[in-house]
Structures are given as C-alpha cells and as structure tokens.
Structure 1
Amino acid sequence: MPSPFFAFAASLPSPSFLPPHHRRSLRTIKTLVESTAGSRPTSALPPPIESLHRGNWVKLICGASFEDAVDVRNLSLVYTLAGVDCIDCAADASVVNAVNEGIDAAMSIAAVQRPWVMISVNDDKEDLHFRKAEFDPGDCPLDCARPCEVVCPANAISLERVTVGNELAGNANASGKLQVGVITERCYGCGRCFSICPYDKIRAITYVRDPSTTSKLLKRNDVDAIEIHTSGRCTDLFNELWNRLGDSIDHVKLVAVSMPDVGESTVAVMKMIYSIMESHLQCYNLWQLDGRPMSGDIGGGATREAIAFAVHLASTLDKPCGFYQLAGGTNSHTINHLKKVGLFQTTAISGHSSDISGAAQSTGFKEALIGGIAYGGYARKIVGRVLRKMPTQHGHPKIEDHPDHFLEALQEALTLVGPVKCYSMPFVLPKQMTSV
C-alpha cells in the first residue's frame, strides 16, 4: 500500500494556486512524505488484525465519556492520517458520527487505511471512565483561586463572573456570582478536580451505558468493535451485560475487554470472562490491560503500571485466548519501557515460550505477546493543544481549514504513532523546513 503521506501530498492543489503559508505547509508535508520509507505490509488478514499480530497496533482513545463532537472529529481526522488502526469513542450516536466524519475527511485527503470504530461501555458504575464532574458554580466563592480550571486536562471547567444587580452604579445590593461550571461534554472523568477544590464542592456523577442503546449502535454499519470495561472483581455483571447485548455482538469484528490487574486472580477472572463470551464470540477478541487509567498526560512514570501488567500476562504460560494491548498511563515513554522488558513486537519473553492463542490458531500466525498500545489522554493532549490555537470566530473549526495548525497536529500525532508503526522518518522537522 502506498505511503499515506505520499497520497496526502499528491491530493493537495498545485502550489501555484495556494497562498504562501499554504505552500509552506505543502513543503512540510512533502518533507514528511520524503522521510517515510516503504509501505505497510499486506496479508489476507484485516489490516487492524495484522497490526495486532505484528505488535504495531495503535488505538486512539477519544474517551469513554468525552463527547465534544468537534474535538472528536478533528482528533479522528488527524490520527487516521497518522495511521492508527482503531478509534475508541463514547457509545453515543453523535460521537460515533463525529468519529466517522473525521475518518471520511481524512480519506478524502489521502488513500489511508480506514481505522475500525470502537464504542466503549461498562458493566457497573465503579469504572472511573464512566463518570462526570459536577458542581454548582453559584456556590463557589468569588475570591476562589479556581484551581479546578487550572488542573483540568480537558478544559472542561469554565468559571465566569457575572453581575447580579447594578454593581457598576454603586448599588449596595449588587453582587457578583460565578457561572458555567463543568462543560459536561468535555469532561471525561479524570477526577483531578475532586481533591483540589479548596471548598470540597465538586462531586462525581457515575453512570452505566444503556445496553439497548449500545445494541442499536453495534448494528450500524459504521461501528466495527466494542470494548467492555469491567472491574475484574466480579463476573456476574459482565455476564448480565453480555446477555443483554445479545445478537448485536454478531455485527462487530472485534470484542475488547478492558480491566485492571487485580493480582493473583487476574488470569482466572479473564478466563471466566472468556468462558462467558466464547459460545457467542464469532469475531476476534482483545484484552485491554488497563494500567493507571487516564494518567498518560501526567508524566513518564504513569506508564509503569501498564508495563507491569504486560509483564505479568506475558510471563503467564496458560494465558486467556485473544490479543493483548496496553492502556492506562500510556504515553511517549511506553515504547521504551516495552523495549526494556523485551516486549516490543516480540513473540516470547525471556525464559518462557509463548502460547498460541485462539486467534493465532485460526489464522496460522504466531502473534506478538503484546499486540499494541492504546493512547488516550496523552494523544488528546498533544493534538488538543494545537486545536486550542485555532480561531473559532467562524463557528466550529475544521482543522483542515487551518493548514498550519493541521500540519502541526499531524506532526504531533506522528511522533506518537510513528515509533509503534516503525515509520522510517524524522518526527521533528528542522525549523528551516517550516519557515518561509
């Protein structure tokens, strides 16, 4: 398959018809193209499954509770061009539409591989990914330093002072108050604002995605996969949700189960979950090893729990069937940590032989112990800071209408996706290549 960046550059208008800053952007794109060597391998397998076998699967996590359709659309566009295999989003029709709109926009620009669209659901209210922050801004003191605004990684809290009464006229009864509070569609439940509020005003609202709504989404032709988040402490709720989803599972290409490492019982719980699914599982299955949820944007150390989980499962001889993928605290440091423990695109860990899972048996391939990495908070952060720069005075901005920002966002995405995909290209362009 041709390089996605070559197709991207070839589809752009001739430089003579572009203003100078657009031509500069085109030169930068060409630099990306020229720095990309080779093409993706091909086989009889669906491309995302081939990636899992090779250990270079990359999933973008938009967020199980993140419902800002504009950002979701732009994130999906940028990361599709960067070459992700899957885009995971909230189980909400408007969000699914936004993901597919972003993918379609990317494919109209370049002949890239279409990533699978995955929706995330939960089997109980304990999962941290399915909650929102909430507070009444009218209860906040006017002199509050507003640390919640500062700490929120999603820019989901906005506090604006408004005047009550004729304060400017010197009315003794006039006063001010704060309004707006949490921007619900942007909050993805990281929880960092809860403990930092000096007045303990912020609370968590938890919820469970409705199985009937989920079933309808799965029957659409633009949803390819489902991910079920479970606590790993009890399989009864998972069993109940699985049964309620019924034959809608037959419409997907991949079923993923996300769970934390719960210690010695982890493998036993995973096997119990697989036994629940097995009789009705007509597609591939994936285990998301959730290390430290929603923390990848905090720092390099956040990835350690996911790496430890990977080592735990990879060194287990009698592993549950399916592919394995890291999540929870993943960021730009994850690849190096995987390499240090010998788990980057390898089929065996030192001192152990790799079992061949059901997926491998059915295809005749022996897959990598760790199929790939899912990036959430960190992926959104590095592209999101570019999205925040775009002007918004003309309605909802589309990133492709702002070529300089588009290039910057694509470069950020490549620095994250490229090392997993083993693209042969520089990810930081020299300054002279991005200047007139």
Structure 2
Amino acid sequence: MAPVPVPPPPLLASHAAVRAAASAVSRSRRARRAGDQPPQVAALRRGDWVKLICGASFEDAADVRNLSLVYTLAGVDCIDCAADASVVGAVNEGIEVAASIIPAVQRPWVMVSVNDDCRDLHFRKAEFDPEDCPQDCSKPCEKVCPADAISLESVMVGGEHTQSDPLRGKLKGGVLTERCYGCGRCLPVCPYDRIRAVSYVRDPTTTCELLKGNDVDAIEIHTTGKGTDTFNTLWNSLSESINNVKLVAVSMPDIGESTVDFMNALYAIMEPHIHGYNLWQLDGRPMSGDIGRGATRETVSFAVHMASVSERPPGFYQLAGGTNSYTIDCLKKAGLFQSTTFRGTTTSEMIHSQQALIGGIAYGGYARKIIGRTLRKIPAQFGRVRIEDHPEHLLEALQEALSLVGPVKSYPALSSLS
C-alpha cells in the first residue's frame, strides 16, 4: 500500500533553522553519491551507513513517527521498525513530513524486523497485574524502564485515600504494551517477583503482506544462533515475497567459535533466493546502548572477531546492540572505522570490490533516548505530539540526532548548524 501523502506542516517559514541544518546534510550526502549504486549501498561500501532502530517490539506509532521524521532529516540510510502495518505507516508518515520540510531529503530504506523463534530477546513484552502489587511498593520497575512503558498510580477504594489507609488502596496501570520493547530491566528489580516476560513470534503471513507493498524496502531476521531449522522454516515461508525487498539482513549474537559456521549455514539457506543485497547485523549487547560506554565494548569485540576471519560469509556487516556515542571512538581504536577490505586478484577487480570491513552502525535505545528527552518537553495535545508543530523542539531534536549520525557520516561544520 502506497504511503498516504502528508500535507506540509503549518508555519513552514518558522522551520528556517531546521531547513538550513537538514539542507546542509543533504548537500553533503549528494556530494558523495557514487555511480549508479543506491546511496544506501554506497554508504555501506564506504562504511558510513547509519540505521535507526525504532525497536522490533516498539509499537508506539506517535513516537516512531517523530523519530523517523527527525532521523530522516539527519540523513540516516535505513529505519528499522516492528513488522506491523500501523508502525510501518508511522515510519513512512515521518519520512513524508521530513520530505515536506526538505524536498531534497534522501528517503531512507524502511526495514521490518521479524524473528525465527520466541527465544530472541527483542520479541517479548513485560507483563504484570498491578492489582497484585502491594499498594506501598516503591515501584522500581517504573523507575528503571528506559521506554517509559510502565505507569503505576495509586487509587482509592471505597472512598478512602490510599495514603491514609493503605489496606484500602490499590495500584492501577501497569505495562504500556505498545511502548515496551523487551529490554527486561524491570524483571530483576521487582521486589515481589510479579513481572513476567511474554515472548512471541511475528506472523510470517502478515510479514509477507508487508513485503508485497511498496513502502517496505528491507527485512531483518533475528535469530538466536540455536539452530538452523527455525530459520529455514521462516525463510521458506517468506520466499515468495523476499524478492520484493532491496536488502535482507540477519541479526545474531556472538555465539563463540561456532559463529562463522552458523552464519555460513544461514547464507547457504538464503543464497539461492537473494536477488538484492545482504547484511549481517552483529548484535553485541542487545538493547543496552543507553546505559553508557561499557555497553559498546561487546559489539566492537564482535566486529574485531569477524574482521579477522577470512571465511566469513559474503555481505555487508553492521554493528548493533550497545551502540551509542562512544562506538565510533571504540571502532577507531580497534582500527575498524571505515577500514577497507578488497576482494579480487587484479587491480581493477580490487578497486571495483573495495568495501568497508564494517559497513556502518545501527543505533537503537540511545538514539531514541536522546530524542525522547526533547519529545517529553512538548505538551501533548489530544494525546499526540507532532514535533514539526514545534520548530524550536524539532531543531533541538535534529541537533541531537546530528550529534550521533554526524560523526559516522563526517558531516562538515556540525557546530554551525544552529
């Protein structure tokens, strides 16, 4: 289904600073276009591809829309989201609004994420009944949730105030399912062990329908590395629609010495049916980028390992899991930031096949966190915030996004984009 056209935001003249910043991004990107390759592929070859991860289980359409708008203006190459029609629609709406502000903006590829079994941490939700919680609980789950997906409120029972009579009070609220993305941080902090994780598998039939539309460009399959049977089953169920996408990505953790053999086994399953590009997402420490510097070490270590292996399967390689503002520095220290490898024997073959060892970086929790700080400053009207209606906040959010995307893209003079 084609994206629904979105009218330009009101008071477009007040977006002058936003347009100036985003236009500079667009000019920088146009200057680096390479031949007939799609700009996203050229970015992977150079090693400056950036993907925004909205979250494989994150289904808050309003937030996804605003995130997509801001990061499209910042020049990301791909936006990864839940394999849900409403979420895909929200991504495309954000992209269209960005294009109404900057007509020359490059449209990022839209990617949907699915899983081959229910053991993948990205495909679960926290769940609990707030009425089972003691009314005087200190609610550590609410405090630790990075997605603001838990909301608990004391209510009165029988006309009595809960603070004056705790025995007659109760809690209401609980997990906001659409916002929970399965990080699991609430599970160990509950003092009463009342929270449980509910895992699920995305329906392949629904995914096939999404892939048949023209508003999805790529798919990412999450696998736990526990075996190829479930992957093969999912792949076969998607085979009729897989040719509709430009890129097939596989996201997996480091499973030690068997990692490369497992990846080669997956590639053998996929190879007969891939007519576009393929990518391997090295998922170092899932859903932890917002924690700090230490979170990025595992994914960079994963990258170092893969870069040292000559028999790794074909395709582009991209980091995820624990990525944040420290990731570029860690990659540079490892000698992997935009470091190039060559495939071929003759000089002409090597030049043609020049490719970055690590094609780029996917930012998830950290990318959402830095924009979320701005979104929370905007008063909600009728339950929905449109960030383009608040140009000063849109500019602030764009500057935050550029602080993350810019170092990968090597944008010039970021400090002047205000």
**TM-score (structure 1 length as normaliser):** 0.88
How many Å separate the matches in 2 of 1:368 and 1:252?
A: 23
Note the C-alpha offset of 1:172: 8.5
1:227 to 208, 220, 228: 220
- One-letter code of the match for 1:89? C
Aligned 1:203-222 pairs, distance under 5 A = 203-222=196-215
Alignment map for 1:2-401 (pairs within 5 Å) = 13-14=12-13, 22=14, 26-27=16-17, 30=20, 38-40=28-30, 41-42=32-33, 43-110=35-102, 111-167=104-160, 175-348=168-341, 354-355=342-343, 364-401=352-389
Displacement, 1:31? Answer: 6.7
Between the aligned partners of 1:367 and 1:170, the Cα distance in structure 2 is 63
Does the aligned pair in 2 maintain the 1:60–1:375 contact within 8 Å?
Answer: yes
- Amino acid of the structure 2 residue aligned with 1:320: P
Distance 2:271 2:350 in 1: 14
Structure 1 residue 33: deviation in Å?
5.9
Q: 1:71 to 1:361 in 2, by over 3 A?
A: farther
Note the C-alpha offset of 1:173: 11
Give the counterpart letter for 1:103 in structure 2: I
Contact 1:29 1:407 in 2 (8 A): no
Deviation string, structure 1 residues 373-432 (Cα, Å, up to 9, x no partner): 000000000001111111113441100001111111000000000000000123487xxx
1:135-160 Cα shifts (integer Å, max 9, x gaps): 00001111111111110000000001
Change (3 A) 1:105 1:37: closer
* Distance of aligned partners of 1:362 and 1:213 in 2 relative to their CA distance in 1, 3 Å threshold: farther
Report the secondary structure of 1:414's partner residue: helix
Match of 2:73, SS state, is helix
How far apart, in 1, do the equivalents of 2:307 and 2:21 lie?
39
Shift of 1:34: 6.8
**Does the Cα contact within 8 Å between 2:25 and 2:75 map onto a contact in 1?**
no
C-alpha deviation, 1:319, in angstroms: 1.7
Secondary structure of 2:385 counterpart: coil
Q: Report the number of matched residues.
A: 404
Q: Which runs of 5+ in 1 are unaligned?
A: 1-10, 15-21, 349-353
Where 1:164 maps in the other structure, the secondary structure is: coil
Q: Partners of 2:354 and 2:21 in 1: how far apart?
A: 36
Q: 1:33 to 1:76 in 2, by over 3 A?
A: closer
TM-score, structure 2 as length reference: 0.91
Q: What one-letter code is carried by the residue in structure 1 that aligns with 2:394?
A: F
**Secondary structure at 1:319's aligned position in 2?**
coil
Q: Residue 3 of structure 2 aligns with which residue?
A: none
The DSSP-based 3-state class of the residue aligned with 1:257 is strand
The percent of aligned pairs where both chains have the same amino acid is: 67
State the partner residue of 1:8: none
Cα deviation for residue 38 of structure 1 reads: 4.2
CA contact (8 A) 1:66 1:185 kept: yes
CA contact (8 A) 2:323 2:366 kept: yes
> C-alpha distance in 2, partners of 1:382/1:428?
20
One-letter amino acid matched to 2:66: N
* Cα distance between partner residues in 1 of 2:290 and 2:164: 47
Corresponding position: 1:414 with 2:406: no
RMSD, aligned α-carbons: 2.6
Deviation per CA, 1:123-143, whole angstroms, max 9, x where unpaired?
001100000000000011111
Q: Deviations over 1:339-395 (max 9, x none)?
A: 1111111114xxxxx546xxx989933110000000000000000111111111344
How far apart are residue 179 of structure 1 and its match?
A: 0.7
The change in CA–CA distance for 1:39 and 1:135 in structure 2 (over 3 A counts) is: closer
Counterparts of 2:367 and 2:12, CA distance in 1: 29
SS in 2 for 1:338: helix
1:426 alignment partner in structure 2: 414
- One-letter amino acid of the counterpart of residue 291, structure 1: G
| Contact 1:32-1:425 within 8 A present in 2 as well | no
Residue 278 to residue 34, structure 1, CA distance change in 2 (3 Å):
closer
Amino acid at match of 1:229: H
